[in-house]
Amino acid sequence: MSTIKKIGVMTSGGDSPGMNAAVRAVVRTAIYNGLEVYGIRRGYDGMIHGDIFRMEAHDVSNIIQRGGTILKTARSKEFMTEEGRKAAYDQLKKHGIEALVMIGGDGTFRGAVAFFKQYDIPAIGLPGTIDKDLSGTDFTIGFDTAVNTAVEAIDKIRDTAESHDRLFIVEVMGRDAGYIALNSGISCGAEDILIPETVTRINEVLDRIESDEHRKKTVHILVVAEGDDFGGAKEVDEKIRERFPELSSRICILGHIQRGGSPTYADRVLASRLGHAAVIALMEGKTQVMSGIQNGQVTFTPFEGVVKQNTPISEDMLNMIRTLSI
Ligand code: F6P
């Protein structure tokens, strides 16, 4: 068992529903085990500027169901510099913080890799991002909620699309990853799903719309990830209008609505398990690993391993979409 007595916890990067549940699990597990906990506001930015405060068990009451993050979050440019990381380290020392739990996505782990190359502080990460673009975990905190939010929205869009015999292009979040697009698209019976992981051949997309038209399909829902290689909803819509001027098309960009809202039960359970496991892992001497969930079990993956590559999108799933949307 380690001799750690004081730990810091922070959320960083884009917020995701369930981050609060994770903070609660970290704070309560730490206090239960006799540790002191310090909240660091606004991620690495707050660390650099010493925005650090003591947390008690009651500080995380009534937050498990709340979206956003009570610790606030930021994408820190300063932390990308050596001076920034030095300032952050000095603040941790000043506050007597001996170990860290960081909850965030790709940028958070990239920052962590750089930081811990320079400074040797025990640290455990938690995957908190709606994008699910991290290796070493089957799910990330917030992904399930974001997909459900997109599904609810797309179902509503289909109602109005049906009424008007319209084609809708719905743009969902995912700068580098198509998991939200893929999963919401399948769940809503989308006619096509365009994601960054595969090359989008726009003419083939248009051909499929044409063949749907021949088969008297009057409603088309195309779900496109914002980071698709061809472009977002606007670019796809322009091509559709060029080739099918008679078609009535509309676009809908779901945007940040996907980042908010009360986390689903799945995200609350995931956040609770990973937050609890992170503190236990720190006490057992683990460091510079992310706690994730793989095949239902909590696992630990070194920071460097979580940012390099994403879990590949299954070909079977992509092929299935073609079959199910006939
Ligand atoms: O990383 C999560 C995410 O929501 C991405 O899907 C999206 O591209 C990005 O954050 C938007 O970031 P911001 O809120 O900083 O504009």
Q: What is the residue extent of each domain of the chain?
A: 6-142+263-305, 145-259
Q: Which atom of ligand 1 is nearest to the CA of 258?
A: 4
HSE-up of residue 83 (Cα within 13 Å, Cβ side): 2
Q: Which atom of ligand 1 is nearest to the CA of 259?
A: 4
Instruction: Please give the Cα distance from 153 to 183 (Å, whole number).
Output: 13
Going by alpha carbons, the residue nearest to atom 1 of ligand 1 is 14
Asked, colleague to colleague, whether 6-142+263-305 and 145-259 share their fold, the answer is yes
Mean pLDDT estimate for the chain: 95
The question of whether 229 is a catalytic residue gets the answer no
Going by alpha carbons, the residue nearest to atom 10 of ligand 1 is 14
- Which pLDDT band holds residue 299 (cuts at 50, 70, 90)? very high
Check pocket membership of 241 for ligand 1, CB cut-off 6 A: no
Q: Which CATH number fits domain 6-142+263-305: 3.40.50.2300, 3.40.50.450, 3.90.650.10, 1.10.10.10?
A: 3.40.50.450
| Contact of 252 with 260, CB cutoff 8 Å | no
Predicted local distance difference test score (pLDDT) of residue 1: 67
Q: What is the pTM of this model?
A: 0.97
In 3D space, the residue among 150, 39, 32 whose CA is nearest the CA of residue 102 turns out to be 39
Predicted local distance difference test score (pLDDT) of residue 326: 83
Which single residue is written with the structure tokens 């993050």?
69
- Mean pLDDT, residues 190-218: 91
Q: Which position among 15, 106, 131, 267 bears the catalytic label?
A: 131
| Contact of 306 with 320, CB cutoff 8 Å | no
- Mean pLDDT, residues 114-141: 96
- Which pLDDT band holds residue 316 (cuts at 50, 70, 90)? confident
Q: How far is CA 242 from CA 248, 253, 270, in A?
A: 12, 20, 45
Check pocket membership of 131 for ligand 1, CB cut-off 6 A: yes
pLDDT (tens digit per residue) in 43-94? 999 999 999 999 999 999 999 999 999 999 999 999 999 999 999 999 999 9
Mutate to test the pocket of ligand 1, among 130, 132, 173, 228 (most ligand atoms within 8 A of CB): 173
Fold of the domain built from segment(s) 145-259: Rossmann fold (3.40.50)
pLDDT (tens digit per residue) in 187-196? 999 999 999 9
| Contact of 221 with 189, CB cutoff 8 Å | yes
Check pocket membership of 14 for ligand 1, CB cut-off 6 A: yes
Check pocket membership of 181 for ligand 1, CB cut-off 6 A: no
- Which pLDDT band holds residue 310 (cuts at 50, 70, 90)? low
Check pocket membership of 196 for ligand 1, CB cut-off 6 A: no
